[in-house]
Structure 1
Amino acid sequence: MADDTIKNELTARIGRIGARVGIDRPADLAHEIDRIRALAHRSGMRPAVTVAQALEMGLARGECGPLIRAWLDLLRDAVGSERQDEAACDTYRAACAVRMFG
């Protein structure tokens, strides 16, 4: 399970991405999300990996602006999750599906 240092680093990265939404190209945002996903994966933060993958798909579909900020809020929540089990991942997958498909 990730320690607070990793969680703080990921939260800071998410904040920096949020500040760049609407300024950076979607490909640049996707690159930064991929870096977050990789660090979350190495740290055993399974819900954050789940949301990061969905966010990357959203960017690939052309989502932008407030939609991306909403995804980042969900990613921030996943980073802070104390649960890392499959049930937690399922909960975040369901939240992602609602964001994707309404």
Structure 2
Amino acid sequence: MAHHLPVQPEIRAELGARVDAVSARAHCSRPGEIAAELEAIRSLARRNGIRPAVTVIHAIDSALARGEHGALVQGWLAILRDAVDSDLSEPNAETLFTAACSVRLNG
């Protein structure tokens, strides 16, 4: 079992603020704009070992590519917010978010 170092609270706060900012503008943003902002979030999450967030962003990319927008994107961003705040000491955190995304993508 891999040991995870705790994520600094300021990193979680920054990621959360970025997700909230994307969410606040999602209704009027084009998919490419959302994807660009998510790429910055993905990079920061990856550097800090927040794999559940990286997993969710991958699923959001797929949803955007399928043409999802508006309220549908808001739902994805809520899952991303939960992933940013997830307890990485939980060994199944990434698996749980992968399953949630799979259910949401495939209905």
TM-score category, normalised to shorter length = over 0.9
2:14 is aligned, of 9, 13, 19, to 9
- Count of aligned positions: 102
Unmatched tracts of structure 1, length 5 or more: none
2:35 is aligned, of 30, 38, 51, to 30
1:21 matched to which residue of 2? 26
Structure 1 runs (4+) deviating above 6 angstroms are none
Take 1:65 and 1:85, find their aligned partners in 2: how far apart are those partners? 32
Identity of matched residues, % = 45
What SS does structure 1 have at the residue aligned with 2:67? coil
Residues 43/56 of structure 1: CA separation in 2 closer, same or farther (3 Å cut):
same
What SS does structure 1 have at the residue aligned with 2:27? coil
How large is the Cα RMSD of the aligned pairs?
1.3
Unmatched tracts of structure 2, length 5 or more: 1-5
2:77 is aligned, of 72, 77, 95, to 72
- TM-score with structure 1 setting the length: 0.93
Take 2:71 and 2:77, find their aligned partners in 1: how far apart are those partners? 10
Q: C-alpha offsets along residues 29-52 of structure 1, whole Å, 9 cap, x if unaligned?
A: 001011101100000101111111
Given that 1:10 and 1:36 are in contact with CA atoms closer than 8 Å, whether structure 2 keeps it comes out as yes
- TM-score with structure 2 setting the length: 0.89
Give the letter for the 2:68 counterpart.
E
Take 1:16 and 1:3, find their aligned partners in 2: how far apart are those partners? 20
Rg comparison, structure with higher value? 2
Given that 1:47 and 1:84 are in contact with CA atoms closer than 8 Å, whether structure 2 keeps it comes out as no
